[in-house]
Structure 1
């Protein structure tokens, strides 16, 4: 499945969760619901995956944690913030570069309209 096909599944899943729960809950609630729904699709999904960073000869274990990664292709960063700012985008872009993934989605469940809370970040896609 391509990154774009996976992102369509994620969008539809996020929309379903947002319609049922609405905004206003903690990030981990939406993350758990996303993980639960995505696992039901049969996709290979990991949550809270810890990854190292290698800087020259230094290996830093557990340097960053991905909220959700799907099929080792698509990274999801779940937020419940008033608005997505540049640091959120930079964080996800760094995750994409560190993992060689091509697509990431910032999903801000605090948005009144779910589609307005979705931001696509690409890395050489």
Structure 2
């Protein structure tokens, strides 16, 4: 995926998340935002999958441990959703781990429990 496509899709993801936040407001369960965001992507014609399993492979061995990506957009961009008072380093480690384990380039950590969604929207780029 080229840079222009990443930028366009990133804007669509932010716009969709803002639409969900405006409609639902802060203070709900993470799963509520996940389902609403999936519907918003569908309405916009954006291909997305939720609760995507990621295998842990170490030195070529499958360690039989699956991690879950909240939402994978267009098979390229990882979205990790939160509905928390404060985003902690462990939440950031989660998105960084998902990017590294899947060898994806771009991810977003979105915390819906904020007054304005832009305050809860963080971009992560895989430079590993």
TM-score, structure 1 as length reference: 0.92
Runs of 4+ deviating beyond 4 Å: none
- 1:26 and 2:29 are equivalent in the alignment: yes
1:42 shift after superposition: 2.0
Query: What are the ranges of 5 or more consecutive residues in structure 2 without an aligned counterpart?
Result: none
**Structure 1 residues 48-63: aligned runs within 5 Å:** 48-63=51-66
The corresponding residue for 1:123 is: 126
Q: What RMSD, in angstroms, separates the aligned Cα atoms of the two structures?
A: 1.6
For 2:108, which of 93, 105, 108 is the aligned residue? 105
- 1:73 and 2:81 are equivalent in the alignment: no
